[in-house]
Amino acid sequence: MCIKKNILFVLILSFSILSCSKNKLNDTDLSNETNLNNNSIISVEKGFIQIDNKNVVLKGVNTLNSFGIDESNLLKQWNVKIVREFIGNLREQPISGYPIKDSQNKFLHSLDSIVVQNRSQGIITILCPFGWVFPNGEQQLLTGLNPSEQIFFNDYKIKMREIASFFKGKNDVWIQVWNEPYTFNNSNGYTHNLWLEDHIKMIANLRNVDGFNNIIIATGNEQGQGEAVLLEKGKDLMSIDDKIIFDLHAYGKWHDNSTQEEIEIRLQKLITSEIPIIFGEVGVITEEAALSDPTAFLAAINQKKIGALAWLWNKNSGDQNSLLTDIGKPNDNNNNTWGSKFKAYLDIK
């Protein structure tokens, strides 16, 4: 999520107030229809996500339902098959039960209530920690941090195990270990070995929960936008755990000064290496508040049959990354017609 902290805080506040494997696959081998049920088997095979032995392309959006659950039918109308839920206060986030008021004076809805609502529309939920809030109410966003070096890392692991324990056996609930770790320019002591060591620790923490066999989402380097570590160390991690999908984020480092062909070349390297990926965030505003054009990127992932989730499912005509206007229409306000472009991508069968 490549936006400045102050922008994120305003966004959260306003929302809470408003309460190919190596062998090329044929199109007939792929589907964006999940047809998921309690008996479905979700697996990762040769770099592709499978549901009941059928390769699927999962398309969706990022949501802020912890601040107020969207019970409209809009997600279904937009053909959303998967959502990634923002958890901005991992420490106090309720897992089940009624909403609670946290130390930042925000009401947080339980993860279970969010999952139940998504499930009612046939939608897979990725639960992703974005931030930690200390007892004094101070929030620390996880983006850009080296996970194992944080003073709250042990407490983070305890809470993540609690979430895994509650949702174990629920095949429509996937858990992401961290949002956008490590700096965008690979500074602050970053190495690919650190990435591997941290991810081994975070994944083992979840797998140590007896019976937790759900999909786990790992992430790239460079605050989520970099695939270099996946090409170098991804197979090492997959040799330890075979139910991992890697999350990449597409903002300026994918959109700017790149043709569709150039993007497809980058994607093909991952496909050839059988690295299973999904773009957990795609947006049009970079950290520097520069507007980028996702047209070539969306065409490339459609050609390569790779799923993506937009940042952000939110009704806010003034937010260039928001997919929806204040009245729930596609938001094309000064954002390279982002709302209509991503809706068209979702509509592709």
- Amino acid 40: pLDDT: 85
Which residues make beta-bridge pairs with 60?
82, 309
Provide the domain limits for residue 266: 5-16+39-347
Which residues make beta-bridge pairs with 127?
85, 175
- Amino acid 32: pLDDT: 53
Secondary structure (DSSP) of 270-284: HHHTT--EEEEEE-S
Parallel, antiparallel, or unpaired: how do β-strands 244-250 and 216-219 relate?
parallel
Residue 216 has pLDDT above 70, yes or no: yes
First-to-last C-alpha distance (Å) of the chain:
27
Within a domain: residue 46? Answer: yes
Residue 1 has pLDDT above 60, yes or no: no
Distance between CA atoms of 1 and 180, rounded to whole angstroms?
7
Distance between CA atoms of 110 and 131, rounded to whole angstroms?
16
Model confidence, pTM: 0.91
- 24 versus 328: the higher-pLDDT residue is 328
Average pLDDT, integer, range 53-61 = 96
Which residues make beta-bridge pairs with 132?
140
Within a domain: residue 27? Answer: no
The answer to whether the beta carbons of residues 317 and 325 sit under 8 Å apart is yes
- Report the 10 Å Cβ neighbour count for 85: 22
Work out the widest C-alpha separation in the chain, in whole angstroms: 55
- Amino acid 9: pLDDT: 41
Within a domain: residue 22? Answer: no
Write down the mean pLDDT value for the chain: 91
Long-range contacts at 16-19 (CB < 8 A, ≥ 24 apart): 16/67, 16/68, 16/106, 16/107, 18/68, 18/315, 19/67, 19/68
- Amino acid 34: pLDDT: 57
**% of residues, the chain, pLDDT over 70:** 89
As given in the structure block, the two tokens for residue 295 are: 């047209």
Q: How many CA atoms lie within 13 A of 104 on its CB side?
A: 22
As given in the structure block, the two tokens for residue 60 are: 């969706």
The answer to whether the beta carbons of residues 305 and 20 sit under 8 Å apart is yes
Within a domain: residue 271? Answer: yes
Helix (H) or strand (E) holding 141: strand 139-141
* Number of domains present in the structure of the chain: 1
Residue 5 has pLDDT above 90, yes or no: no
- CATH number where 300 lies: 3.20.20.80
- Amino acid 36: pLDDT: 76
Within a domain: residue 31? Answer: no
Average pLDDT, integer, range 51-76 = 95
Strand (E) positions, 277-341? Answer: 277-282, 308-310
Distance between CA atoms of 274 and 22, rounded to whole angstroms?
7
Within a domain: residue 316? Answer: yes
Within a domain: residue 157? Answer: yes
Within a domain: residue 337? Answer: yes
The answer to whether the beta carbons of residues 32 and 58 sit under 8 Å apart is yes
The answer to whether the beta carbons of residues 306 and 279 sit under 8 Å apart is yes
- 36 versus 237: the higher-pLDDT residue is 237
Helix (H) or strand (E) holding 249: strand 244-250
Find, among 248, 250, 324, 323, the residue nearest to 292 by Cα.
250
Helix (H) or strand (E) holding 340: helix 338-347
